[in-house]
């Protein structure tokens, strides 16, 4: 089935082609066939979008001046409009990214929940009264930042766009959304939903385009007041540097190399199921993947056997191939990168317990076998670098201290998992982990209500929960002399 959804840029409430007429074509990674051709935003298009967002964010402009409850109702309508398109978005996301319909459904549901969650916050963003000396009234007001720029990666194109868009809009900001040029389609459904919900012109703008052109311009534009960037640590560092030239704030959601730590007293079946899901979901293309399995030596073989058994019985398929539980990786170049990492793992002396290549049964598509490496040490490339594919590195430990040391010995600090039935072990280890998120006896898990973000080179700032309300507002302090 061919693509029949939106293909234009969405700027200031209008669907428009790129100013130089450029387009680009995306590919279905499960078939290697072209899927859709969409407008490609130039720097001038990004400037138009930022200008529209800037006008819509000004003091006195409709969105900013709305009764907060009214803004909440708009966001409810926005969520309704997304929900009305759910089946179509799931189909499009599956074809554009390669993820299974099951996975795409989880993503769209998460967005609907997130938008509704923030719709409820619009009239609860409160300031404080500050007790100061003297005869004075001193209070704080939380104001929107203005224009927020959202730069989104290809692994969860729809879900990650909604994650930062919802709180930004709830706080009264306007937005320019730049999806990845690898997976630009689902972002256009935010434009369609904003249009249908009647959001004022300029509040939501969507500009698919190249990172090096449209993304770069958005990040360094002087009228962008905050950048929400989700992507690789390398690109994130450059984004932070360029935003700094205008002293623009950034939220960075970057890479990870998450450990799942399995203690001998754990429910080993549950641990194996969680560790399998935590690396093979979304074909391992997850910032918060549990890509390192740290397992106690006394249960190593038992846990590895169970994970391998699950890996070998994972049906491979995609959006057009019903019944698949793991899709292809997103593109030809990424396919090559992941296979190179597997080769490096072999060369550095790790053992392939299962997988390790391209599945025989597929004659098209960027599929990779679910791969488990044993005999991994934490200094190997496959234990240090984010592979961003279906590759699990198993490392043995002999006591709790060693497990914590290996877990924390990483440039990243996004999500860690702990598997144990002992309460003291669970909380003590959680306390010692240098990770922004720790999950005990399930992995991975997040909710619209819980803060999402990492320590160290996994980023800064937090999405989701009440913390995002602070990311997308700024504090004004007002002092009144009452004498
Ligand atoms: P990426 O290459 O860093 O790209 C992310 C986004 O930045 C894309 O929209 C990309 O556009 C754009 N971009 C590229 N160069 C740019 C530049 N010079 N200026 C401004 N924008 C630029 O990341 P990816 O490969 O798409 O995604 C995978 C990475 O995302 C992984 O490292 C993963 O861990 C991370 N991630 C983190 C989280 C989190 O919440 N912490 C969640 C998901 C993914 P183009 O694609 O068009 O080049
Ligand atoms: Mg694609």
Residue of 287, 369, 463, 471 with catalytic role: 287
180 token code pair? 């990845």
Q: Into which CATH architecture does domain 259-448 fall?
A: 3-Layer(aba) Sandwich (3.40)
Going from the Cα of 343 to the center of ligand 1, the distance in angstroms, rounded, reads 24
Residues flanking ligand 1, CB < 6 Å: 151-156, 160, 178, 180-182, 210-212, 215-216, 219, 230-232, 235, 238-239, 253-256, 287, 386, 388, 414, 454, 459
Percent of the chain with pLDDT over 70: 99
> For 378-434, how does the pLDDT look when each residue is reduced to its tens digit (9 = 90+)?
999 999 999 999 999 999 999 999 999 999 999 999 999 999 999 999 999 999 999
| Ligand that lies nearest to the alpha carbon of residue 30, given by its number in the listed order | 2
Q: Which segments of 264-390 are extended strands (E)?
A: 292-296, 351-354, 371-374
What pTM does this model have?
0.97
Going from the Cα of 90 to the center of ligand 2, the distance in angstroms, rounded, reads 14
pLDDT band for 324, please (50, 70, 90 cuts). Answer: confident
pLDDT, position 320: 60
Rounded to 5 degrees, what are φ and ψ at 409? -80, 75
Q: Summarize the confidence of residues 19-25 as an average pLDDT.
A: 97
Q: How far apart are CA 141 and CA 447, in angstroms?
A: 28
Q: Is 317 or 230 the better-scoring residue by pLDDT? A: 230
| 302 carries an active-site annotation | no
**Does the pLDDT value for residue 318 go beyond 80?**
no
CATH topology of domain 9-254+458-479: Aldehyde Dehydrogenase; Chain A, domain 1 (3.40.605)
Question: Could you identify the atom of ligand 1 that is nearest to the CA of residue 218?
Answer: 20
CA–centroid distance for 17 within its chain: 28
Q: How far apart are CA 206 and CA 209, in angstroms?
A: 10
292 with 383: CB under 8 angstroms?
Answer: yes
pLDDT, position 323: 78
Going from the Cα of 371 to the center of ligand 1, the distance in angstroms, rounded, reads 24
| 253 carries an active-site annotation | yes
State which of 211, 236, 245, 446 you would mutate to test the pocket of ligand 1, scoring each by most atoms of that ligand within 8 A of its C-beta. Answer: 211
Q: How far apart are CA 76 and CA 81, in angstroms?
A: 9
Q: How far apart are CA 370 and CA 270, in angstroms?
A: 19
| Ligand that lies nearest to the alpha carbon of residue 255, given by its number in the listed order | 1
461 token code pair? 């700032």
Q: Across-strand partners of 101?
A: none
**Integer distance in angstroms from the first to the last C-alpha of the chain?**
73
Q: Residues spanned by CATH 3.40.309.10 within the chain?
A: 259-448
Q: Residues spanned by CATH 3.40.605.10 within the chain?
A: 9-254+458-479
60 token code pair? 């006195």
pLDDT, position 322: 64
Strand 136-144 vs strand 147-151: parallel, antiparallel, or unpaired? unpaired
Residue of 220, 253, 396, 463 with catalytic role: 253
Q: Is 321 or 262 the better-scoring residue by pLDDT? A: 262
Q: How far apart are CA 138 and CA 218, in angstroms?
A: 37
Alpha helix (H) residue ranges in 152-298: 157-170, 185-197, 216-220, 233-244, 268-280
pLDDT, position 361: 85
> For 28-86, how does the pLDDT look when each residue is reduced to its tens digit (9 = 90+)?
999 999 999 999 999 999 999 999 999 999 999 999 999 999 999 999 999 999 999 99
Going from the Cα of 173 to the center of ligand 2, the distance in angstroms, rounded, reads 30
Rounded to 5 degrees, what are φ and ψ at 473? -130, 165
pLDDT, position 319: 60
Burial of residue 245 (number of CB atoms within 10 Å: 0-12, 13-18, 19+): exposed
């Amino acid at each position: 089935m061919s693509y029949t959804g939106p293909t234009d840029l969405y700027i200031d409430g209008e669907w428009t082609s790129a100013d130089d007429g450029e387009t680009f074509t995306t590919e279905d990674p499960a078939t290697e066939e072209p899927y859709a051709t969409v407008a490609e935003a130039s720097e001038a298009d990004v400037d138009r979008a930022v200008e529209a967002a800037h006008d819509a964010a000004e003091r006195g402009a409709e969105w900013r001046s709305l009764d907060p409850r009214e803004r909440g109702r708009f966001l409810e309508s926005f969520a309704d409009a997304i929900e009305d398109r759910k089946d179509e978005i799931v189909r499009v996301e599956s074809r554009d990214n390669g993820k299974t319909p099951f996975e795409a459904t989880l993503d769209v549901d998460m967005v609907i929940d997130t938008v509704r969650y923030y719709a409820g916050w619009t009239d609860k963003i409160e300031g404080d009264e500050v007790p100061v000396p003297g005869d004075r009234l001193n209070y704080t007001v939380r104001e929107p930042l203005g224009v927020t720029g959202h730069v989104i990666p290809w692994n969860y194109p729809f879900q990650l766009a909604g994650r930062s868009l919802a709180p930004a809009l709830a706080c009264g900001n306007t937005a320019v959304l730049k999806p990845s040029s690898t997976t630009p389609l689902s972002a256009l459904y935010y434009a369609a939903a904003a249009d249908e919900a009647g959001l004022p012109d300029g509040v939501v703008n969507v500009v698919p385009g190249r990172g090096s052109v449209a993304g770069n311009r958005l990040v360094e534009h002087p009228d962008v007041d905050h950048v929400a960037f989700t992507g690789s640590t390398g690109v994130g560092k450059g984004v932070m540097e360029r935003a700094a030239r205008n002293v623009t704030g950034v939220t960075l959601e970057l890479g990870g190399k998450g450990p799942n730590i399995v203690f001998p007293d754990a429910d080993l079946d549950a641990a194996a199921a969680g560790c399998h899901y935590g690396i093979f979901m979304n074909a391992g293309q997850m910032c918060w993947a549990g890509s390192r399995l740290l397992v106690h030596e006394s249960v190593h073989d038992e846990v590895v056997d169970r994970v391998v058994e699950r890996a070998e019985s994972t049906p491979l398929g995609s959006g057009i191939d019903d019944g698949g539980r793991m899709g292809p990786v997103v593109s030809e170049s990424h396919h090559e990168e992941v296979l190179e990492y597997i080769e490096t793992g072999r060369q550095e002396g790790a053992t392939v317990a299962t997988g390790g290549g391209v599945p025989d049964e597929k004659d098209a598509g960027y599929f990779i076998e679910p791969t488990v490496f044993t005999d991994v040490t934490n200094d190997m490339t496959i234990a240090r670098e984010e592979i961003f594919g279906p590759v699990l590195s198993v490392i043995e430990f002999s006591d709790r201290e060693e497990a914590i040391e290996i877990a924390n010995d990483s440039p990243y600090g996004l999500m860690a998992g702990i598997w144990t039935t002992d309460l003291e072990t669970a909380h003590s280890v959680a306390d010692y982990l240098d990770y922004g998120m720790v999950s005990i006896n399930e992995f991975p898990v997040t909710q619209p209500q819980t803060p999402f973000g990492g320590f160290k080179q996994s980023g800064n700032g937090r999405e989701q929960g009440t913390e995002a309300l602070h990311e997308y507002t700024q504090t004004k302090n007002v002092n009144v002399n009452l004498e």
